[in-house]
A and B are shown apart, each in its own frame.
Chain A
């Protein structure tokens, strides 16, 4: 059935521009998903909540040519709902997380716990049950990794604590000699109850928690949260606030890309790259601090606008910083491009070909290195991106070199955007008063963070409380693709390949 057959049933939804919503029955859930897949939609997020009368609801957000669609389906806890893993492979882990946190199970085969380790009892549903049961002292648990058998195959367990300064997670490699036959990830180690914590905070204050879902994407998550909230409250933020938010978002993108470009050089044995890019990143963080009050902008975006305006002299400070960056990054790019050792490690490592990327639903920065040309700043632009019209970056090779190239292109594009924002930003107020939205209202924020599209689904409770808040990081989609990217590569290339994706643990484990 063509997608337009469902048209009459779509309604609008507050938050990100052009959001549409549809409520379907359990019988319609899968046919609609099939129609969306046929129309080349991709799955952005999948979660469960409790509607009015405590009925259980499964929500999915899809993104395609006609924008973002929220599909909601009431379910009963006693009956398994139809899983979507075969249509949208990224659904698998999201469905397992729903089972862990909300006690609703899908019909899909893989029903191992995902976010729940042995630290709380299986019967406890953190997002449903008010009472927390008595918790036993945490103990090491076991997980049913898929084992690979054959002559000379052995396993290498890595983590949860990794060798460098990075977040914790477990990787189980099955290898023959140095070649990787299979990688299986196990995440959830930094699950700290973020979604339940949201329901304990006032809706007008929880942007602080949103900014700490994944610290490296603080601006993206806090903007997405505020976008949803402001839409639900019917508040139009001042134009200047939107431009300040975009300024912060691009600074966050540049800072992360600079950090990654240095680390990737280092992982390829080129310590010069780390020294140079980390120096440039430090310069940018200091300029950010001088212009917007902090090196990392956890507290800048608040409901109704921004907490601060640019400091006096802040615009000049940032302008001169990005001009230097543009020049230096271009020079360093030439050095990376010419360096035979770096090229040898980057090119052909960890390849995800575009058809596989499409099939698995790879998105964001890594997706744009594998021919998946999706960027919400272009495809679903909110103010001021409607006026800024950023250039969308896309490469097709799908290897480490392509993910490096995307970062170089986007860093330079974001530097240009920062200059344009500083030159054309309207004057005026930077914050507007916001009132708590009506109980029961639902909104969704969607912002293209540096890693990819960040989603915040928000449901208001009574008296300014939060009934449900679901943050979604693009790492959910991209972690499973990393398992494919490493196949047939050698173990020593894993740190490089992993870094080229640089996925979130905290943003995923919640």
Chain B
């Protein structure tokens, strides 16, 4: 126990300030105002791997490490789409995952956001469309934000998730300011 406490004390807080939202990643504007009025800054995300190579999953994991500290921003991953505000979808959508993805989408309460993550989620990537793959996520469910990269870095993912929440550059800048709370700077 003493060793554990010593380790915690010696490492201290390693969390870095959150990056600003990147509005250029947004592909659809329909819901942002409505979502923001409902959610404020809190957000629950359900991740769905619809056919990924698992590279994007590694960087989603990193979002929860103490350096990016996603939960410190009020954003967390939840176990059920019924608890989620946002679906974070990776991979080209394999034909075998179409039914499960659509069910997860239907189970997510309105208003909801969809973020397509990674080159495959944005365009189908190197796998493309085939007898086994439907290609990009937007071919199966509506997408609000598309974050390219193979895999995108945790910072890029965070910028995209924040872009989904924000309505304009001005409010994004303001929000990133408020997100950088005293606790996070400490």
Which A residues lie at the B interface, using CB under 8 A? 117, 119-120, 124, 126, 132, 135, 137-140, 160-161, 163-168, 188-194, 196-197, 208-209, 212-216, 218, 259, 272, 275-276, 278-279, 281-282, 285, 295-296, 298, 331-332, 334-335, 338-339, 504-507, 509
User: Of the 9-residue stretches B20-28, B62-70, B165-173, B175-183, which lies at the interface with chain A?
Assistant: B62-70
**A491 → B minimal CB distance (Å):** 16
**B132 → A minimal CB distance (Å):** 4
Within 8 A of A (CB), among B52-73: 52-62, 64-67
* Contact A296–B11 (Cβ < 8 Å): no
**A259-B58, A278-B61 known; A193-B127 Cβ under 8 A:** yes
- Closest residue of chain A to B97 (Cβ to Cβ) is A189
| CA A332 to CA B10, docked complex, whole Å | 13
Give the contacting residue for B65; candidates A117, A279, A335; CB below 8 A: A279
Q: Is the CB of B3 closer than 8 A to any CB of chain A?
A: yes
* Contact A334–B51 (Cβ < 8 Å): no
Q: Is the CB of B39 closer than 8 A to any CB of chain A?
A: no
Give 19 CB contacts A-B under 8 Å: A117-B96, A126-B132, A132-B131, A138-B96, A165-B60, A167-B49, A188-B96, A190-B49, A190-B91, A209-B126, A212-B53, A215-B53, A215-B54, A272-B8, A279-B65, A298-B55, A335-B4, A335-B7, A506-B53
* Contact B3–A335 (Cβ < 8 Å): yes
* Contact B54–A167 (Cβ < 8 Å): yes
Give the contacting residue for B131; candidates A120, A163, A259, A295; CB below 8 A: A120
**A190-B96, A276-B11, A298-B150 known; A215-B131 Cβ under 8 A:** no
* Contact A504–B8 (Cβ < 8 Å): no
| CA A132 to CA B67, docked complex, whole Å | 47
**A296-B58, A335-B4 known; A189-B96 Cβ under 8 A:** yes
* Contact A296–B96 (Cβ < 8 Å): no
Cβ–Cβ < 8 Å partners of B115 in chain A: none
Q: Is the CB of B100 closer than 8 A to any CB of chain A?
A: yes
Q: List 4 other contacts, CB 8 Å, given A117-B96, A196-B130, A197-B127.
A: A138-B95, A138-B98, A188-B96, A276-B7
Q: Is the CB of B141 closer than 8 A to any CB of chain A?
A: no
Q: Is the CB of B92 closer than 8 A to any CB of chain A?
A: yes
| CA A117 to CA B94, docked complex, whole Å | 11
* Contact B66–A135 (Cβ < 8 Å): no
* Contact A191–B132 (Cβ < 8 Å): yes
- Closest residue of chain B to A169 (Cβ to Cβ) is B49
Within 8 A of A (CB), among B110-143: 125-128, 130-133
**A494 → B minimal CB distance (Å):** 15
Give the contacting residue for A338; candidates B3, B14, B55, B66; CB below 8 A: B3
Q: Is the CB of B48 closer than 8 A to any CB of chain A?
A: yes
* Contact B132–A216 (Cβ < 8 Å): no
Cβ–Cβ < 8 Å partners of A189 in chain B: 51, 94, 96-97, 100
- Closest residue of chain B to A338 (Cβ to Cβ) is B3
**A189-B100, A338-B3 known; A120-B132 Cβ under 8 A:** yes
Contact with A along B1-41 (1 / 0, CB 8 A): 00110011001001000000000000000000000000000
* Contact B58–A168 (Cβ < 8 Å): no
* Contact A168–B131 (Cβ < 8 Å): no
Cβ–Cβ < 8 Å partners of B61 in chain A: 165, 259, 278
* Contact A192–B133 (Cβ < 8 Å): yes
Give the contacting residue for A135; candidates B55, B64, B80, B131; CB below 8 A: B131
Q: Is the CB of B160 closer than 8 A to any CB of chain A?
A: no
| CA A285 to CA B150, docked complex, whole Å | 15
* Contact B52–A215 (Cβ < 8 Å): yes
Which B residues lie at the A interface, using CB under 8 A? 3-4, 7-8, 11, 14, 47-62, 64-67, 77, 79-80, 91-92, 94-100, 104, 125-128, 130-133, 150-151, 153
Give the contacting residue for A278; candidates B7, B64, B80; CB below 8 A: B64
- Closest residue of chain A to B132 (Cβ to Cβ) is A193
Cβ–Cβ < 8 Å partners of B130 in chain A: 132, 192-193, 196-197
Cβ–Cβ < 8 Å partners of B133 in chain A: 192-193
**A218 → B minimal CB distance (Å):** 7
Give the contacting residue for A331; candidates B7, B60, B91; CB below 8 A: B7
* Contact B7–A213 (Cβ < 8 Å): no
Give the contacting residue for A166; candidates B57, B62, B96, B150; CB below 8 A: B57
Cβ–Cβ < 8 Å partners of B58 in chain A: 215-216, 259, 296
- Closest residue of chain A to B135 (Cβ to Cβ) is A192
Between B53, B61, B100, the greatest number of chain A beta carbons within 10 A of the residue's beta carbon is seen for B53
**A224 → B minimal CB distance (Å):** 15
Give the contacting residue for A216; candidates B3, B55, B65, B150; CB below 8 A: B55
**B84 → A minimal CB distance (Å):** 12
Between A124, A164, A189, A298, the greatest number of chain B beta carbons within 10 A of the residue's beta carbon is seen for A189
**B83 → A minimal CB distance (Å):** 11
**A120-B95, A218-B55, A259-B61 known; A279-B100 Cβ under 8 A:** no
* Contact A278–B65 (Cβ < 8 Å): yes
Cβ–Cβ < 8 Å partners of A120 in chain B: 95, 131-132
**A120-B131, A189-B94, A298-B150 known; A214-B100 Cβ under 8 A:** no
Nearest 8 CB-CB pairings of A with B: A215-B55, A193-B132, A278-B65, A119-B95, A163-B79, A138-B98, A215-B53, A193-B130
Cβ–Cβ < 8 Å partners of B49 in chain A: 161, 165-168, 190, 505
Give the contacting residue for A191; candidates B3, B11, B96, B99; CB below 8 A: B96
| CA A504 to CA B3, docked complex, whole Å | 34
**B160 → A minimal CB distance (Å):** 16
Cβ–Cβ < 8 Å partners of B92 in chain A: 192
**B184 → A minimal CB distance (Å):** 16
